[in-house]
Every structure is written in structure tokens, then in C-alpha cells.
Amino acid sequence: ETGVTQSPTHLIKTRGQQVTLRCSSQSGHNTVSWYQQALGQGPQFIFQYYREEENGRGNFPPRFSGLQFPNYSSELNVNALELDDSALYLCASSEEGPRETQYFGPGTRLLVL
Amino acid sequence: DQQVKQNSPSLSVQEGRISILNCDYTNSMFDYFLWYKKYPAEGPTFLISISSIKDKNEDGRFTVFLNKSAKHLSLHIVPSQPGDSAVYFCAASDYNFNKFYFGSGTKLNVKP
């Protein structure tokens, strides 16, 4: 039990729509990273937030955006959904700043039709 | 740009024997290498890590070896147990830990 929860567990959207995925970390975990995992692939780093500011970003377009809140929750927003956005989205948190050890949530599976 | 690669999609090992999972990387600027284990319907869980200034790190049944000249690392599990059956991901980061690169994973099956 990592203490990291994600909602919803599954989601179906249509192309062009917008989606918001949510993550709740353990108290004190002030760093959160988001990943996209396509079927048969490893997690691809989207971005990281530390103390509510973006702290690092992978090769994802600006339509992927995020927010981190003082209560250790965070959001991943994706605009103008494309079919290739269908994937498992994982959030991972770490305590006391960015660290090698991250605690992952179970993920949200998004299907874009 | 696939900077971390796991070229073996699957591995099958008999219980009690050694499991060796391999990982290659291309970026010599990586400072830390990590292994995660993932069971179905769960998020990955951290297993073990190694700094680029070391060539070996051991934690119980798990040992990670790093060969910087070959840009290669491996995870050894001895002895392997059926509960070790999972997908194993190799990952890398620099010392800022603000960006992580994961391999595509190796599915380990430990047969009783």
C-alpha cells in the first residue's frame, strides 16, 4: 500500500475532448510526477511538479498540463484528445523533494475513441 | 528517443535459480539507475537503485550491477521465488531526479 490514489480508474473519451485525471499523494510528498504508459511500453515521463511549480518536463506537447495543490493532490489535464492518448496514466510521488524513490499510484486507464 | 532499453521482453526461470534482467542506456550523463517491479493492476514499486559512482549494490536477494563503460546494468535475483513473477522496469535519472527515463520492461516468470 503506497498511499497514492488515482481517480478515476477507467475513463472513455472521444477525440477532441478534454480530460482531467486526479492523484492524491501521502502527506509530506511535495513532489509528483506523471507518466503515460502505452500498452507493452514502459512509463513515459510527462512532467514533474515540486512545491506546486513545474520542475521538469518530458517530450509531451503543451496540451498536456498539470496542477499541484497544497493538500498533496494533483491533476493532469489533456486537451484536444487524440487516439494515441489512449494509455495508462500513472502518478508517482516522493517525499521531501525530488528523489530516486517514487511511490506510484495504480493508474487511470484512458481510452480515446 | 529511447535512452533506456530492455531488449528482453520476457524471461522464464525455475524457482531457486538465478534471474538476470538486463538493461542498456545511451546517455552517459545519467547519475542514478533504478529498478521497479510491477504486478498486474498495480503501480510500479521501487526495488533497488545504484549511483553511477558505484558498480554494485545489494539488498537481500537483489543485486544490481553497473558497467559504465558498456552502458549496461543488470538485476540479479537469487534465489528466484514464484512471488518474484512480475514485470521489471529499468529506469534512469540525473542527480536532479526531475526527469526519469524508463525501459519497456521485462516480464519475469518464476516457475515452481
The pLDDT assigned to B1 comes to: 66
Q: How confident is the model at residue A43 (pLDDT cuts 50, 70, 90)?
A: very high
Residue ranges of chain A whose CB lies within 8 Å of a chain B CB: 2, 4, 33, 35, 40-45, 48, 50, 55-59, 90, 92, 94, 98-107
Please spell the DSSP secondary structure of chain A, one letter per residue: --S-EEE-SEEEE-TT--EEEEEEPPTT--EEEEEEE-TTS--EEEEEEETTEEEEE-S--TTEEEEE-TTSEEEEEE-S--GGG-EEEEEEEESSSS-S--EE---EEEEE-
Contacts of A35 in chain B (CB under 8 A): 102
Contacts of A45 in chain B (CB under 8 A): 99-102
CA–CA distances in Å: residue A89 to residues A7, B4, B68: 10, 20, 32
pLDDT digits (tens, 9 = 90+) for B42-94: 999 999 999 999 999 999 999 999 999 999 999 999 999 999 999 999 999 98
Q: Do B45 and A99 touch (CB under 8 A)?
A: no
Nearest CA in chain A to B37: A104
Question: Could you give the 3-state DSSP secondary structure of residue B82?
Answer: helix
A40 burial class (0-12, 13-18, 19+ CB within 10 angstroms)?
Answer: exposed
Q: Looking at residues A20-25, what average pLDDT do you find? A: 96
Nearest CA in chain B to A53: B98
Q: Which of A46, A100, A101, A108 to mutate to test the interface with B (most CBs of B within 10 A)?
A: A100
pLDDT over 90 (residue A63): yes
| CA B91 – CA B24 distance, rounded (Å) | 10
Please spell the DSSP secondary structure of A21-53, one letter per residue: EEEEPPTT--EEEEEEE-TTS--EEEEEEETTE
Q: Which helix (H) or strand (E) holds B109?
A: strand B106-111
pLDDT digits (tens, 9 = 90+) for B94-104: 898 899 999 99
pLDDT over 80 (residue A103): yes
CA–CA distances in Å: residue B108 to residues A63, B81, B82: 36, 11, 10
Nearest CA in chain B to A56: B98
B25 burial class (0-12, 13-18, 19+ CB within 10 angstroms)?
Answer: buried
pLDDT over 80 (residue A17): yes
pLDDT digits (tens, 9 = 90+) for B8-46: 999 999 999 999 999 999 999 999 999 999 999 899 999
Q: Which of A26, A28, A23 is nearest to A9 (CA)?
A: A23
Q: Do B96 and A98 touch (CB under 8 A)?
A: yes
Question: Do B24 and B5 contact (CB within 8 A), yes or no?
Answer: yes
Q: How confident is the model at residue A98 (pLDDT cuts 50, 70, 90)?
A: confident
Provide the residue type at A30 as one letter: N
The pLDDT assigned to A96 comes to: 80
Nearest CA in chain B to A10: B41
The pLDDT assigned to A2 comes to: 56
Q: Looking at residues A94-99, what average pLDDT do you find? A: 84
Percentage of chain A beyond pLDDT 70 is 98
Q: Do B103 and A94 touch (CB under 8 A)?
A: no
B46 closest CB neighbour out of A50, A102, A105: A102
